[in-house]
Chains A and B, each alone.
Chain A
């Protein structure tokens, strides 16, 4: 199942079509750095030194033994790897820094350098590389059919290409769980099914007897959300209905933000709503005033939701702001689909004007614009940056859409039986799932999935126990929805807003002004002293006192100002008064 296994197998079976680069070894990388290691010349030697090194240490406690060490010191780390783990810019110790400041800066510097180095060193543990498809000299890769690929690769990989004929319940939406093990299918006419797609075990299947607009896994494969005709429902993996969330109506599209435990929904009424899945609370409901919202995507980098609109604009939203963070005009016609890449750098949109556009969403500038003969209805980006676009019943996969050269032809293409309704890449697998009018198709796309997974974050092989533990940890590390903003590193910056600004925000949060002066409230007194007139008199007194204070203050200020002015003017007078004869005056007097 793992990409590595599959890939090696592929290379064994297919000679040319499905080639895979040999696995990179660490000595190959080190050679680039130009360090002392000359392993490349004689790889045998490296193994021998590797074996003998610990022996040497054991043998001799003398200092002389180190002199003979051909590789003194730590193993060098290639600059490229170090760069990968660079965090922010270093700050030099300023010239006039006092002791404590110097200490703090130096300490942080050493620590972050250590962290960077260690991380770069541990990069060694991610040895797998993504494969890719390579055609013959005059063969187009996009003309290679899935059947050929499936025949050529090993059995396990070949079994990843399959079709599910589900003709009754109309076009299907698709969603893979975060680990890539489980598949959720939602038929337009009410069919919902969960499958462990690798073993083809059906976890649950049901008909909700209603239109199903979208389906989405929640944080684990134990729960999923289904946007039905009217309300939003949440089911568990056995198909039991857990919740019917009536605050969320007419939902058309959903996105789940895994680190925030937020389910974001876009409705036909133009509402963008956020549901906190961990506590079951609605975090925000934003009226976008943009009409029907049926195009939605999330930016995995900063958890910002992207919405596409019929007027050709794409708007970016966070739950903390009632207006879009960004609104950009992308197409002349309506936006049909959009997707954002894993690093949050690129956004791909397609519109009714039959264009496919690649945007750099750090600078909000278009990089490439492609014209597709029939436009693209569903877009999806894989972990490795392969773009799949469906036009009608054809699914095309593009490589390097944001590279320097514009793409002229697809990397792969496949025709399915019906109109494509949903496209999704399976994480950590070279598989693209396509939901269409006639069921579901799983397609093999070499080089689509990330070959190295982070077992602490998303482990495709985790057991039930591990999953439970992961859930607890993830809940503990849950990111609060307030922290969603365009720049996720904003939290680590110093807030430079003025005091007034902060005070205003504080008042907004608290609902009252903590620094406000209390209004005078006269006490009730006995013996007729609390008559309306007396109370008014007392009030007046206090008011007068306050006014007097104010007046006193202003007068004082004015006096001071005048005094200063006077001094200034007198000084200038003295200067101006000086006559030419003054220079003969004796200095002593």
Chain B
């Protein structure tokens, strides 16, 4: 029967199965016998009963021999009886057998085949993973290696260090041999180590006293440990609840004491403890323990009406709950109080920045006089706690007010600053230089600018509004007469817009080219005469492009020692004249360019998609326009494109088209280990080719990951070479559970080979 139990663990035994089968078989046999008997009783021809031997005869048939009680079953007790009598059997076995006899339990059924196999598989899997995972290290190492040269572990052809060669050297001449013999006999070091083995041993050895001391220490420790263990065991066995209760209480008290101490010495540890306590508190709050909701509590609740003690018990329970769920209030409480006191002593606002700004409002300057009476009146009327809250609220309100005030002031200050910082357009500077333009006009111009930008996109509008406010703040006085002028300016401008471009370049301008310092046409345009101002509109329409910013670079004259000879050639001169004519045939180059730029910008801007269908939801027909509401609803605004690259370059148009031709060759998906494009780009920043690198660098960069020597046999890795774990060796010697006999032979062979290799490797290591 014990065998059957074993089957769970080891189950390769076929015997077990057969045994159980036998049992079943015997059962069947019995039935079979019964059946046979029944049949024989039915049949007319009776079987001859095997007779017992009654008389002596010469020939005794072996089949006719019958023992006593041959037909009976054998019980365990029958067998055990003999054991009792045999003198050799040990008492222990006898006792075990007796126990076995007394036991009446039936044995559990053996597990079915599938389950046993499953368990086997599980075990086998674990074993094999363990086996395989031993290779992990070497595999990772090989994967990481810059280069692997197969077959591995080749002896390098490089020159060896001297020590290695000396180590491999053998004494040959008799003199040498004699010397080595001497050295060996006296166990003197031959190679590297300077100390003899004896010396080393003596170095390692301990003195006697030390050893004794150590032994005594160990003994004592062991004894103490055993005492402690015994004590713990005994205490654990005590069943008294009261005892445990007391114990717990004592422990808690001690803990609190310790904790207090800890607060002083080790604040971080204390904090951790505190956290633990908090945790336990949370647990207590979560659980229904001590809530008087258990069975016991309910029974007590019934009794409570009549029984004082029951009531007390319940009270106690609730008290416990209260204690446990109470928030930890330790020294920090005291600290709080002191802090509060301090804060009372020195009010917060002392540290605040002195609000200087409100010179007008003297009440804002110091809060104390207003605050104190309020507090007093509150204290007279209401209890302490409420008062505190009130105070806080009051303070908050005050603070908010203050904050708002600050913000207002900041805004004001900013506005002031911005007033100073308002970028004076370059045109103005120039105008100032010329000193011919009235102030009012400048103001008017600014306003015009603003009104212009109002028409522009929404996102621009924000800036503009800000600018507007600033502007208003700045020139509230100056611009009092401005509105009328601005109106005028706007009208003017609209007219100009309608007019389109007007030729600026005139003969005078051409002449002016000759001068060293060329007066900017824009500067002249800004002078008060309305005709020259015509060149302004294109510059104004788009805010970022300023006509004045285009081609502003001042030319520096260069003196040339040799003046070119006047070319007499008629043809040449004619050609030059024609070239000049061609060059100035068109009109203003700058405004043309700006127009071109604006066109490009417009083309790049996504258009508003209008999806209104006339006649849907309302009347349609000739002369009927879909309502504004509808149009608004079905108009889809696209997101504005990212800012153009040439936004800040007035005289440059940069194409925003994506170059698809290069994109076709670019990497479009990040390769595996990289997390962002930057990493990848930095990794491929150095070119590999010979054109950009020195020879040695190229060689290093293009080293193959794997090199195989031609004609060499690449053998699989050998375990002994790479896995140093000694425990693995016996494991490999014992056959795995499911290895069959056939494979054993092979395995054995391999083992021998392995051993051989192992020896080799050991040799190598020695060297």
Partner-B contacts on A (CB < 8 A):
61, 87-91, 94, 97-98, 100-101, 103-105, 108, 111-112, 114-116, 118-119, 121-122, 140, 142-143, 310-313, 318, 320-321, 323-334, 352-357, 364-366, 368-374, 391-394, 396, 406-410, 413-415, 419, 437, 456-457, 477, 482-483, 485, 490-497, 501-502, 505, 508-509, 588
CB distance from A236 to the nearest CB of B (A): 28
**Interchain nearest-CB distance for A510 vs B (Å):** 11
Q: Give the residue name and chain of the B residue nearest to A365 (CB).
A: B649
Interface residues of B in 640-675 (CB under 8 A from A): 646, 649, 651-655, 657-668, 670, 672-675
- Using A91-B683, A409-B558 as known contacts, list a sample of 6 further A-B pairs with CB atoms less than 8 Å apart, ordered by residue number in A: A104-B683, A111-B700, A371-B558, A394-B564, A485-B661, A492-B684
Known pairs A115-B693, A352-B583, A491-B662; A407 contacts B668 (CB<8 A): no
A393 touches B593 (CB 8 A): no
Judge whether B658 and A370 touch: CB under 8 Å. no
- A494 CB to nearest chain B CB (Å): 4
Q: Please, how many angstroms separate the alpha-carbon atoms of A321 and B119 in the complex?
A: 70
B673 touches A370 (CB 8 A): no
Alpha-carbon gap, A502 to B682, bound state (A): 24
Question: Which residues from A are CB-within-8-Å of B675?
Answer: 94, 97, 101
Q: A310-B583, A326-B652, A505-B663 are in contact. Are A392 and B694 (CB under 8 A)?
A: no
B497 within 8 A of A: no
Q: Contact between A370 and B665 (Cβ–Cβ < 8 Å)?
A: no
The answer, among B564, B592, B681, for a CB contact under 8 Å with A392, is B564
Nearest CB in chain B: distance from A554 CB, A: 19
A311 touches B586 (CB 8 A): yes
A residues near B561, Cβ cutoff 8 Å: 140, 142-143, 409-410, 413
Q: Is the CB–CB distance between B666 and A493 below 8 Å?
A: yes
Which of these, B288, B589, B678, B694, contacts A329 with CB under 8 Å? B589
CA–CA, A287 and B585, complex, Å:
22
Contact across chains for B672 and A100 when beta carbons are under 8 A apart = yes
- Cβ B589 vs Cβ A311 within 8 A: yes
Residues of A within 8 A of B666 (CB): 490-491, 493-495
Contact of A393 among B516, B564, B589, B681 (CB under 8 A): B564
**B683:A370 contact, CB within 8 angstroms:** no
CA distance A207 to B635 in the complex (A): 68
Contact A115 B697 (CB under 8 A): yes
Q: Are B659 and A485 closer than 8 Å at their CB atoms?
A: yes
Q: With A91-B682, A477-B691 known to touch, is A369 a contact of B579 (CB < 8 Å)?
A: no
- Shortest Cβ gap from B579 to chain A (Å): 7
If A88-B681, A111-B686 touch, whether A505 touches B660 (CB-CB below 8 Å) is yes
In the assembled complex, 26 residue pairs joining A and B whose CB atoms fall closer than 8 Å, in A order, are A88-B686, A101-B679, A104-B679, A108-B682, A111-B686, A112-B685, A114-B697, A115-B692, A115-B693, A310-B583, A333-B580, A333-B584, A354-B513, A357-B553, A369-B554, A371-B555, A393-B567, A414-B562, A456-B691, A457-B691, A483-B661, A490-B659, A497-B658, A501-B658, A505-B660, A588-B293
- Can you name the residue of chain A whose Cβ is closest to the Cβ of B690? A456
Main SS class of interface, B? loop
| A409 contacts across to B, CB distance below 8 A | 558-561
Are B592 and A311 within 8 A (Cβ)? yes
Interface size class of B (residues with CB under 8 A): 35 or more
Whether the Cβ atoms of A329 and B556 lie closer than 8 Å is no
Q: Do residues A352 and B685 form an inter-chain contact, with CB atoms below 8 A?
A: no
Taken together as a complex, chains A and B put the C-alpha atoms of A57 and B551 apart, in Å, by 67
Asked whether A370 lies within 8 Å of B563 as measured between CB atoms, the reply is: no
CA distance A235 to B560 in the complex (A): 40
Nearest CB on B from A540, distance (A): 26
Q: Is B582 an interface residue (CB 8 A)?
A: yes
Q: Is there an interface contact between A312 and B589, defined as CB atoms closer than 8 Å?
A: yes
Please state if A408 and B683 are interface contacts (CB–CB under 8 Å).
no
Does the CB pair B569–A419 fall under 8 Å? yes
Q: Is the CB of B652 within 8 A of A114?
A: no
User: Would A419 and B572 be within 8 Å (CB), given that A353-B513, A408-B556, A494-B670 are in contact?
Assistant: yes
Q: Known contacts being A408-B559, A497-B663, is A105 close to B513, with CB within 8 Å?
A: no
Report B-chain residues with C-beta under 8 Å of the C-beta of A122. 694
Question: Residue-by-residue, is B727-763 near A (CB-CB < 8 Å gives 1, otherwise 0)?
Answer: 0000000000000000000000000000000000000
Known A-B contacts A327-B653, A370-B556, A477-B691; A588 and B697 likewise in contact (beta carbons under 8 Å): no
> Across the interface, do A492 and B590 meet the contact criterion of CB distance under 8 Å?
no
Q: A111-B686, A491-B665 are in contact. Are A334 and B579 (CB under 8 A)?
A: yes
Residues from chain B with Cβ under 8 Å of A457 in the complex: 691
Bound CA–CA A396/B293 (angstroms): 108
Known: A329-B589, A374-B564, A392-B565. A502 touches B668 (CB 8 A): yes
Known: A114-B700, A334-B583. A87 touches B686 (CB 8 A): yes
**B533 on interface, CB distance cutoff 8 Å:** no
The answer, yes or no, to whether B38 is at the interface (CB within 8 Å) is no
Interchain nearest-CB distance for A228 vs B (Å): 20
* Bound-complex Cα distance A324 to B655 (A): 7
Most buried by A among B584, B655, B664: B655
Q: Looking across the interface, which residue of chain A has its beta carbon closest to that of B669?
A: A494
Structural contact, B683 and A323, CB atoms closer than 8 A: no
Report if B162 contacts A (CB, 8 A).
Answer: yes
B550 within 8 Å of A by Cβ? yes
**Residues B697-714 near A (CB distance < 8 A):** 697, 700-701
Of the listed residues B144, B162, B555, the one surrounded by the most CB atoms of chain A closer than 10 A to its CB is B555
Specify the chain A residue showing the minimal Cβ separation from B694. A118
Nearest 9 CB-CB pairs, A to B? A392-B564, A91-B682, A88-B685, A334-B583, A112-B686, A495-B666, A371-B555, A100-B673, A482-B661
Residues from chain A with a CB closer than 8 A to the CB of B592 are 311
Q: Is there an interface contact between A373 and B560, defined as CB atoms closer than 8 Å?
A: yes
In angstroms, how far is the closest chain B Cβ from the Cβ of A413?
5
Is B564 in contact with A502, judged by CB distance below 8 angstroms? no
Residue of A nearest to B686 (CB): A112
Which of B554, B663, B664, B694: most chain A CB closer than 10 A?
B663
Q: Name the B residues within 8 Å of A143 (CB-CB).
A: 561
The answer to whether B593 and A313 touch across the interface, beta carbons within 8 angstroms, is: yes
> Pick the contact of A492 from B565, B582, B652, B685 — CB < 8 Å?
B685
Knowing A114-B697, A118-B696, A408-B556 are in contact, say whether A392-B593 is a contact too (CB < 8 A).
Answer: no
Contacts of A407 in B (CB 8 A): 556, 558
B contact residues around A492 at 8 Å (CB) = 681, 684-685
